[in-house]
Structure 1
Amino acid sequence: MAVRADLRRISRLYDWTFGDDNVLDGVKDRLASSTTPILLILDNCDDSTVDYNRYIPNGDQVTVLLTTRLSNARKYASADPQDAGKKLFLRLDGLDPDAAVNLLMEPSETQDRDHDSFADAGRIVKALDFHPLAITVAGSLIQSAVYSLKEYANALDSRLAQAELLDTESEQARYKKVSATFKVSAEALAQLGSTDTSALDALALLDILAFMHHQDVHEEIFVRAWSYEDVILLSWGEEDELDEEAELDIRYLSPWHVAQCRRFLHSRPLDERMHAFRKARAHLDRLSLVNVDPATKSVSLHSLVYAWARARLQRPGEAWASAASILALSTEGRKDRQPFSDRLVRHLETSFQFASGLRDGAIFPPQRELCRIWYRFAWQMYRTSSTETIALCEQLVERTKDCCGKSCTEVGLVDAQYILGIAYLKNGQVKEAVEQLEHVVQIRESLAEDDDPDRLASQHALATAYYRNEQIAQAIELLVHVVKVQQKRLAVNDPDRLSSQHELARAYLDADNGHPAQAVELLEHVVRVRKKILLEDHPSRLASQHELARAYLDDGQLGLATELLEHVVRVQEKSLLEDHANRLASQHVLARVYWADGQGQRALDLIQHVVAVWQTKQSKLQVDHPLQIQSERFLANMLEKLAVSDEALDPVDSSSADHDPGEQA
């Protein structure tokens, strides 16, 4: 043992003679009886099976400095003589930023010490989480001209640079390599695993964490996945009873995913799995391989531990399949957005990004099982507006084509194409959405009855795409059909029915000849129902009130339009940021109402405010938002009218001044 060997060296240094069995007690006694001050350093006390109190002398003249990666080492610290409620324990989380930059720059004699160099150095030390050994190794790579500062700052996200950083030796460090400091902890767990299986569970958990995002892995992910396993197994029944259509269906996870999930902690009752998970997590936390948030109990990994955890795997595809299956099962087969979705989506994005680099044969998921994972990921990513949604959905469509073969027009592919179509629509790729959704509607109309929910959903989505593509007549024709069917089969307060009625009313307002009376009738009904079932500041309730006010404006009912929009704006001013697009859209339409009603000064003040906010926001967007263009055009029309008017604030005809819809985003 390293500590005992060091104590032998101390005994030789002072020419103290003890038998091998008495070295520990003998050295402790001699140190404790010393009359001169002594500093005893117990370095790298990282073995969780050792009680280091055995090596700490009790003499008044001995000060002991103990260094360790064990998170529970506070128990070895003595009380602070200046504050009895505290212990002399210091947790080192990394260098401070200035010291880290200086450590990186010091050996880099060939680097210019200008503003850009220090900025690049700041990026590097931040990416390395201010880890001293990692910064030392990075400095040596830069000094040897393998990289310039800027090149290294730009390369740190690459797997090549991460592997090089972990495995490059440093003469200044005891462990030589960054990876060695983590290997010590992993080897300690492996050794402990011979008598404590929870240590092996900890290593298995580390493998799974390597393929999720490195921050905020919530316990809830695992609990939801384990709770959903039995639902999957019951829904599939005996595998030999499955027909071809069920085999091709990508909408549902399968027993294969349950099997991958059960590679970690196997099949146990939920309470036992929870207990085992927490014991495994505690092992990793105790060895500082992870950090556990004391409030949320979520797990985070240092970025270097995270890179090392993947690099150490002999079969990364197997670990990825387990992690991805756990993530997919945690969605519980749901398509809607949940509070849980926001905590989950970063892990889904990370899992998707890693998958492209994994190709280790049979360990990687069979094509159809991968499609089922992507389908579950796609819905949660779509609901949370993830920037990876389009890329994932496009890959989902291509992979589903590969695994469905000739049957792809009937089963599987149409579901993948549907979510790709609505993702295109949400992303503003309207023409691509129309093309994709026309195909989906054609297939579903040939397969399903008029009142089939999937058929109606795809028709609604296509109509919305037509509307945004300015194919208003086609949107109205399709929505009239959808609303007619939904009125027969859905309750009055059904969200899908209300949404279709809302969309139809918008299309009526923006038709070439306009149908404001029909829009008013529909929207008054929608507003009445939503007021009963939704909170005052719910986006859908506010959107229908906004559209109803717009319909009142087009129908010449200015008093009702003013009253309703002023209410909407008041609510939005409390619930939305000043530059939120929906708040600005409502203020824009209210300015139009004021102008049409002869309240010129109020209209001018409000639209000038809207334009000013849009122009401030534009620097963040980098491109003009359509609503910004509409507001600027309306203001220009007002100012042009005022310039030729005999009266300072003579109102103009709202319909000729501004043809924009002013719709809610």
Structure 2
Amino acid sequence: MDSRTHSGPSPSTNNTHFMVPRAPNALFAGREGVIKRIIQSLSPSNQLNKQKRFVITGLGGQGKSELSIKIADLLREEYWGIFWIDVDNELSAKQGFLAVAKQLNPVAESVADALLALTNVKNHWLLILDNADDPDFDYQAYFPSGTYGSILMTSRVTECSRFNTVGSIALAGLQLDQCIPLLLNAAELPQDQWSSHYRDAKDIVQHLGSHTLAIIQAGAYLARGFCKFNEYIQDFQRQRGLLLKYRQRQATSRYGDVYATFEASAARLEQMGTDASRDALELLNIISVLHYTPLSIELFDKAWECTHKLLVMGILNSRASPEAFEDDDDAQYIKSFWHFPGQLKKKESLDKWHFLHLPEFINNGDEDYKPRRLLNAISLLDSLSLIKNNHFLSVSMHPLAHAWAKDRQSRQSQFKSWMTAGCILAVSTTNSQLESFWETRGDQLVTHLSSYLDSNTDNQISSQSAPRVIPILLQCGRALDLMDDYNGLEQVCRTLQNQHGIDPSHSSVDFVEVYELIASMYMNQHRSVKAIHALKVILHLRTTVYNNTGYTLLYSVSKLASALRRKGDFSEAIALLDYYIAQSKTRLPATDPNLLRLQSVLATLYERTGQASKAIKLLKKVIAIQTTIFTFDDPILFESQHNLAIAYYQDTQFTKAIKLLEYLTTVQMPIFREDHPSRLLTEKMLAKAYLITGRFESALKILERVVLMQERTLSVHHPNLLGSQHALAKAYLETGQVLIAIQILEIVVAMRRKIYREDNPERLASQIYLARAYGRDGQIKRAVKLLKQLAHIRATEETALLDYDDQLSAAEELTYWSKQLERRSSVEDLVYRSGQLELDSD
């Protein structure tokens, strides 16, 4: 192949016409496999009884045109004529065809004349149709007939691949090992310096998503000395738009810069002026404030499901009567988050404004919903290679295309897109039947919610827009709570507290749902006192102001009981549940999910108050009913089964506990992402059961994974991470890896001393285990010293919250190690005296 490469227009005995705009770019590298495939497909020696057509599609700036120039250069000796035509628009196509025609038939005056002239040529020719990017144009109009000719087409329109007769390829980014030399060459860096900049170059390439033109632009920017290699990413993050519009001076691409290549596709959409093109542009704007990774199409379907319910309940009707749906649990759930005309208005409620600001491709008044407009918009964006359509299950974007989609909008337009996306996210959470959707899609959706919340819109939230924003933030927070994203939940709650002044201690009737969200944050932070205060305020408002009796009331009751349980106020929690369970049984069927949830929480209280057998009996009854109303993979069922496994564990029925936990681990694996808190909680409990039954290596393997996952997502002082590290240290201790156990326990103890009072049982347990580790390492004096500091501290009744093997006594541990120290002292004294006797005898 290299022997046929020509750097310039040298004379050729075989080639008479070579109408190609320029020589190959000196920076062109890689694509060897693609080049070989195209040449083999188009070579005249590959004789077929049909016209050979090969189509290259892909995102703008990936090098389709550069690849075609390289192909033309390599095939030059094999073709009598190679003709290049820019078909970006009708005018440039006509000019190109007329230029070709004048070489073949000087009297030609039209595209048709040029096509006829090519058809009549009896020599082999190659026609390159570049930039066939109009999705509404049929490019077959530019295909001459006959079999002597071959056609190479480049396009952003994926559907153009159907024109091929010998092959097509969707051009993606170069491989990493090809991108790095491209960047270093573009930066004009001498090869003897490549090794010292390799790591920084690799980081730059990955940050740019291996986008060919972006890499070349970055190299040109570096070559001009605007920054050093190790400073480029920081510059990029600070002034992304400027860097992606930077143009090299020589050998520029057709559009000049990365953003211009994408903007050419957007211009196509704007010129179309159809409903589909307008929907496509709006969808592009919505995705721009989310994340570029796959976004489930189901999100839009679920949003429609709730809008349909809202229409039925009368959201747009001045005489709405949602009370007509008193027996509909889902409608009651929706009522708690939406304001209907003529009803009591809460500042935290979504209302008609949010409904009307959904995009038309969702809220189009079609009762028999078929997402035609959404699917058409997706198809159109995909056809222009602006998004990737993953079989209409999800859509994703190249990170640079995603950045451009946001940066091309004005600040006002960005805020509008942010609000529209927020309405979609908010609506999709206000249906009780959608909770499992958010919980099981957490691996995708949590990334989009985080990106949405991180969008720079705070300075645009005025006093006028704040009432619209608060309900959106509330629903985003609820979704994050459902997915157990503790950091995201805290971010939302802090925004609501600090920027909007919402505080449970103020007891406002406008923010009862926000208070419940903040209480969840307190629970996750193990701040039980604050959580209990907030939840008691909520329960008071629900019973005295809103007269709630259904789902919302019982959900608040279960959360308050859980908070009381965590604090160790078992008697109050049991009394609370007994009261509401008895009250609910008089008006709810035994299969009511809310009643079953209360009973499940009550069972956990039995288990923690030494009534494990009673807990097991109640949980078996709850689970038997839940299995008839939930699917086997429902998170609510998982929760009850997990509680049953803990009850077995606490009742020392370890075999049953392990069997159930192994089942849950297997079922949850394909459903939850690898770092989903519910999955990690199950795995950690299984590891603890393995530990107690002597399966130390199995426990160690699981706990190492759990801690690794939690270290990625949780803060260093998060109680869940500290609990897992504590369990991991125990596993290391049991497998004889004492020094590693000590290292981990010293970190856990230091963190727990910062966040817990001295009589906290978890803090005491980790310190006692650290003392035990010191003792096993031979540091017995250090162990005794630590235990003496703990012996006078009496743990609170929260000790019952610990697993029974963590319910240690500092006094008992001190007695043991004190005896070990006495024995060591006796032995040392005996050895010393024996040595003295030997000296005396000498």
Between the aligned partners of 1:347 and 1:424, the Cα distance in structure 2 is 24
Tell me the C-alpha RMSD between the 2 structures. 4.1
Shift of 1:263: 5.3
Shift of 1:496: 4.5
Shift of 1:379: 1.6
What residue number does 1:98 align with?
177
Work out whether residues 232 and 255 of structure 1, in 8 Å CA contact, stay in contact via their aligned partners in 2.
Answer: no
Q: Does 1:307 align with 2:307?
A: no
Shift of 1:74: 2.0
Work out whether residues 498 and 526 of structure 1, in 8 Å CA contact, stay in contact via their aligned partners in 2.
Answer: no
What residue number does 1:648 align with?
none
What residue number does 2:572 align with?
477
What residue number does 1:122 align with?
202
Q: Superposition pairs for residues 385-400 of structure 1, below 5 Å?
A: 385-386=484-485, 387-398=487-498
Letter matched to residue 478 of structure 1: A
Change in Cα spacing, 1:615 to 1:93, as seen in structure 2 (3 Å) is closer
Change in Cα spacing, 1:424 to 1:170, as seen in structure 2 (3 Å) is farther
Q: Does 1:290 align with 2:387?
A: yes
What residue number does 1:174 align with?
254
Q: Does 1:260 align with 2:357?
A: yes
Work out whether residues 493 and 530 of structure 1, in 8 Å CA contact, stay in contact via their aligned partners in 2.
Answer: no
What residue number does 2:657 align with?
565
Letter matched to residue 93 of structure 1: A
Letter matched to residue 107 of structure 1: A
Identity of aligned residues (%): 21
Q: Superposition pairs for residues 326-337 of structure 1, below 5 Å?
A: 326-334=424-432, 337=435
Work out whether residues 269 and 277 of structure 2, in 8 Å CA contact, stay in contact via their aligned partners in 1.
Answer: yes
Partner of residue 72 from structure 1, selected from 143, 153, 159: 159
Between the aligned partners of 2:341 and 2:272, the Cα distance in structure 1 is 48
Between the aligned partners of 2:665 and 2:359, the Cα distance in structure 1 is 49
Shift of 1:254: 0.9
What residue number does 1:147 align with?
227
CA deviation vs aligned residue, 1:225-264 (integer Å, no higher than 9, x gap): 334335335444655997997322524x211011111455
SS in 2 for 1:121: helix
Between the aligned partners of 1:616 and 1:301, the Cα distance in structure 2 is 31
Give the paired residue count. Answer: 602
Partner of residue 246 from structure 1, selected from 321, 328, 344: 344
SS in 1 for 2:695: helix
Is the deviation greater in 317-326 or in 430-439? 430-439
Shift of 1:339: 2.9
Change in Cα spacing, 1:54 to 1:243, as seen in structure 2 (3 Å) is closer
Is the deviation greater in 576-585 or in 522-531? 576-585
Between the aligned partners of 1:570 and 1:191, the Cα distance in structure 2 is 58
Change in Cα spacing, 1:236 to 1:140, as seen in structure 2 (3 Å) is same
What residue number does 1:411 align with?
509
What residue number does 1:222 align with?
300
SS in 1 for 2:239: helix
CA deviation vs aligned residue, 1:612-662 (integer Å, no higher than 9, x gap): 653575456557742553585595879999x9xxxxxxxxxxxxxx99833
What residue number does 2:521 align with?
423
Between the aligned partners of 2:706 and 2:654, the Cα distance in structure 1 is 27
Shift of 1:397: 4.0
Between the aligned partners of 1:566 and 1:451, the Cα distance in structure 2 is 38
Q: TM-score, normalised by structure 1?
A: 0.78
Shift of 1:479: 2.9
Work out whether residues 168 and 177 of structure 1, in 8 Å CA contact, stay in contact via their aligned partners in 2.
Answer: yes
What residue number does 2:328 align with?
none
What residue number does 2:645 align with?
546
Between the aligned partners of 2:369 and 2:435, the Cα distance in structure 1 is 30
Work out whether residues 217 and 299 of structure 1, in 8 Å CA contact, stay in contact via their aligned partners in 2.
Answer: yes
Between the aligned partners of 1:617 and 1:227, the Cα distance in structure 2 is 36
Between the aligned partners of 2:488 and 2:428, the Cα distance in structure 1 is 19
Q: Does 1:356 align with 2:453?
A: no
Q: Does 1:108 align with 2:108?
A: no
Change in Cα spacing, 1:200 to 1:18, as seen in structure 2 (3 Å) is farther
What residue number does 1:600 align with?
none
What residue number does 1:205 align with?
283
SS in 1 for 2:128: strand
Letter matched to residue 38 of structure 1: W
SS in 1 for 2:132: coil
Work out whether residues 289 and 417 of structure 2, in 8 Å CA contact, stay in contact via their aligned partners in 1.
Answer: yes
SS in 2 for 1:269: coil
Work out whether residues 683 and 706 of structure 2, in 8 Å CA contact, stay in contact via their aligned partners in 1.
Answer: no
What residue number does 2:619 align with?
526
Work out whether residues 604 and 647 of structure 2, in 8 Å CA contact, stay in contact via their aligned partners in 1.
Answer: no
Q: Superposition pairs for residues 431-450 of structure 1, below 5 Å?
A: 433-434=531-532, 436-437=534-535, 440=538, 447=545
Letter matched to residue 298 of structure 1: S
Between the aligned partners of 1:493 and 1:272, the Cα distance in structure 2 is 31
Between the aligned partners of 1:360 and 1:505, the Cα distance in structure 2 is 45
Work out whether residues 205 and 215 of structure 2, in 8 Å CA contact, stay in contact via their aligned partners in 1.
Answer: yes
Shift of 1:416: 0.6
Letter matched to residue 416 of structure 1: V
Work out whether residues 103 and 136 of structure 1, in 8 Å CA contact, stay in contact via their aligned partners in 2.
Answer: yes
Between the aligned partners of 2:483 and 2:304, the Cα distance in structure 1 is 23
Shift of 1:400: 5.3
SS in 2 for 1:182: helix
Letter matched to residue 157 of structure 2: L
Shift of 1:424: 3.2
Partner of residue 42 from structure 1, selected from 124, 129, 134: 129
Between the aligned partners of 1:493 and 1:92, the Cα distance in structure 2 is 55
CA deviation vs aligned residue, 1:395-431 (integer Å, no higher than 9, x gap): 23445546x9x99623232321211211332355556
Between the aligned partners of 2:430 and 2:550, the Cα distance in structure 1 is 23
Between the aligned partners of 1:305 and 1:290, the Cα distance in structure 2 is 8
Is the deviation greater in 224-233 or in 428-437? 428-437
CA deviation vs aligned residue, 1:241-291 (integer Å, no higher than 9, x gap): 97997322524x211011111455773425587323322322222222222
- Structure number, greater radius of gyration: 2
Q: Does 1:662 align with 2:803?
A: yes
Between the aligned partners of 2:592 and 2:297, the Cα distance in structure 1 is 34
Partner of residue 98 from structure 2, selected from 1, 5, 8: 8
Work out whether residues 202 and 283 of structure 1, in 8 Å CA contact, stay in contact via their aligned partners in 2.
Answer: yes
Change in Cα spacing, 1:326 to 1:453, as seen in structure 2 (3 Å) is closer
SS in 2 for 1:39: strand
Between the aligned partners of 1:37 and 1:151, the Cα distance in structure 2 is 51
Change in Cα spacing, 1:41 to 1:563, as seen in structure 2 (3 Å) is closer
Between the aligned partners of 1:541 and 1:302, the Cα distance in structure 2 is 41
Change in Cα spacing, 1:121 to 1:438, as seen in structure 2 (3 Å) is farther
Work out whether residues 225 and 329 of structure 1, in 8 Å CA contact, stay in contact via their aligned partners in 2.
Answer: yes
Between the aligned partners of 2:245 and 2:666, the Cα distance in structure 1 is 54
SS in 2 for 1:416: helix
Change in Cα spacing, 1:564 to 1:361, as seen in structure 2 (3 Å) is closer
SS in 1 for 2:264: helix
What residue number does 1:372 align with?
471
CA deviation vs aligned residue, 1:152-182 (integer Å, no higher than 9, x gap): 23554x3x43312332223421111212112
CA deviation vs aligned residue, 1:550-589 (integer Å, no higher than 9, x gap): 4534xxxxxxx35643543564575577995535535645
Q: Does 1:17 align with 2:106?
A: yes
CA deviation vs aligned residue, 1:34-76 (integer Å, no higher than 9, x gap): 3444333221122234332232333544332221112111233
Work out whether residues 646 and 657 of structure 2, in 8 Å CA contact, stay in contact via their aligned partners in 1.
Answer: no
What residue number does 1:595 align with?
none
